[in-house]
Amino acid sequence: MSRSLLIALAGFIALTLSTAGIASAFTARSVRTWYPGLRKPPGNPPQAYFGPVWTLLYLLMIVSAWNVWRVGFGWEGATAAITVFLFQLALNAAWSAIFFGMRQPGLALVEIALLWLTVLANVVMFWKVSALSGALLLPYLVWMAYAVYLNAGVWWLNRREAIQLSQ
């Protein structure tokens, strides 16, 4: 493997793990204090599931992005696809900041809908460069659809309390 491909892999690892770290920083306190007190929709998984699922999803993102970089000859053939990937990483971290950091499920619902659309665009754009890379993002797309449902449910089931707190 060439040195430039190893550097690209290291870059995708660093960017993706940085996103995970930022998300975790916003999530850690609220998941212990605020989140347990919220009403949740049917099908909400146990807290213990989120860590392993996100670890797998972040690993799939890394491999997928690196493979697009490799197959697309870096920026030369994958500029748009990698740009959308970076944008979805930013939205991914922003959702945690809004939902857990700001404790705003309603605003987070709008943001996560945009995130889901961006992940969908990312899947399509990656698929055009490499079907494997697009396929590797499908679990992320499915998980994000589930996350939209969970976010909507939390917002809906707790909206009265949110209104009372703001008055």
Q: Average pLDDT in the 121-145 region?
A: 98
Radius of gyration (C-alpha) of the chain in whole angstroms: 17
The whole-number pLDDT of residue 76 equals 85
The whole-number pLDDT of residue 73 equals 84
Average pLDDT over all residues of the chain: 94
The whole-number pLDDT of residue 163 equals 55
Residue percentage of the chain with pLDDT more than 70? 96
Those residues with Cβ within 8 angstroms of residue 80's Cβ, 6 or more apart along the chain or in another chain: 125
Convert 70-94 to b/e letters by CB count within 10 Å (16 or more is b). bebeeeeebeebbebbeebbebbbb
The whole-number pLDDT of residue 128 equals 96
Say how far apart CA 89 and CA 133 lie, in whole Å. Answer: 16
pLDDT digits (tens, 9 = 90+) for 71-107: 998 888 899 999 999 999 999 999 999 999 999 999 9
* Cβ neighbours around 45 below 10 Å, total: 11
Q: Which domains does the chain have, with CATH numbers?
A: 3-166 (1.20.1260.100)
> Shortest CA distance to 104 belongs to which of 33, 154, 54?
154
> Shortest CA distance to 67 belongs to which of 3, 114, 136, 17?
136
pLDDT digits (tens, 9 = 90+) for 139-163: 999 999 999 999 999 999 999 886 5
Diameter over CA atoms, the chain: 60
Burial bucket for residue 36 (CB in 10 Å: 0-12, 13-18, 19+): exposed
Q: How many helices (H) and strands (E) does the chain have?
A: 6, 0
Binned at pLDDT 50, 70 and 90, residue 167 comes out as very low
